[in-house]
Amino acid sequence: MPRNSVPDPRNSGPDLRNSSPDPRNSSPDAGARAGASPSVQGFPRPRLVGLIPAAGRGTRLSPLPFSKELMPVGFTHASEGADRKPRPVSQYLLERMRLAGAEQVFFITRPGKGDIADYYGDGSRLGLRFAYLQAGLPWGPPFSLAQAVPFIGDARVVFGFPDILIDPVDSFSPLLAHQDETGADVVLGLFHATACEPGDVITRDDATGRILNLETKEERPQRPDHYTCWMFAVWNGRFSMFLHKECGRLAAQARARIAADPQGKAPEWPVGAVIAAAIRAGLHVNSVWFPQGRFLDIGEPDGITAAAAFPGVWDGLGA
């Protein structure tokens, strides 16, 4: 992809350089007001739920003595209790979902990852309600997410990857607000990345932030030295239904490929592939750009080392 095919979002679209609140200076319910107000323009607002796919095998870190979602990164604050406790990487995502106003979170796991439920329990310790589902089909995170669709109905969804740390702390609320403003089916949280950081490559409209195209990292797109990637999202019930239908279509493809080559590599699709399909189908996918935002993938050894060195970055306490 030519360098100029990816618009520089620093010059376009919704920009949070000055508008994103510092969570250290905001009241505890600020995110809840943004994400869970009772109505939008006079209409009842759907409930807000979190979805976390956690059925992966953590092959980049294997063997591990526990699920990678429970990898300790930093500690709880003294204000959270007399004794500081290790904080699992997935807890950072859960705290961001709670700040946005989510009250219920669905973990989608697989057999052998019961330690996640053993650790978090019903979620009340974090002020949330947890439900645990088991992924039924093994062909990537979209199939894990689709497992939750019958349980969430038309709920509004906040979504993130449990092994990726994101900054700022109040990251979902701006996406929810932008969804209210634009009526988008999906809103992606965008970050600046360098060519050595693999991610989906997007093209978006300069003026509106609307996503025009998305190439998944699995497609090995040509990346400029600096490009824009997404790391978390919010979406509505329309996209949830599209996700469910698209996974049905992909499952038929997977079964046909396996039947044709039983010894071949099993197919797998990323979440970005379903978002790209939604764009092609005419769904409205928009975005919010975080010019000062940061992300870190702890699903590989270098990421764990970096996260342990600067844990304060990820809880709003600075570098």
List, in sequence order, every residue forming a beta bridge with 86; answer none if it has no partner.
75
Q: What is the pLDDT of residues 30-87, one digit of tens each?
A: 333 344 444 445 556 789 999 999 998 756 666 777 898 998 887 776 555 557 788 8
Most confident of 72-76, 178-182, 198-202, 290-294: 178-182
Q: Could you say which DSSP state residue 69 is in?
A: G
State the pLDDT at residue 195.
67
Assigned CATH for 3-315: 3.90.550.10
State the pLDDT at residue 78.
56
State the pLDDT at residue 38.
43
State the pLDDT at residue 30.
33
Cis status of the peptide bond prior to 63, with omega within 30 of 0: yes
State the pLDDT at residue 260.
95
Q: What is the pLDDT of residues 223-236, one digit of tens each?
A: 777 888 999 999 99
Specify the residue for token string 């990820």. Answer: 314
The yes-or-no verdict on residue 245 having pLDDT over 50 is: yes
State the pLDDT at residue 93.
97
Using CA atoms, how far apart are residues 103 and 293, in angstroms rounded to an integer?
25
List, in sequence order, every residue forming a beta bridge with 194; answer none if it has no partner.
226
Measure the N-to-C terminal CA separation of the chain; round to a whole number of Å: 34
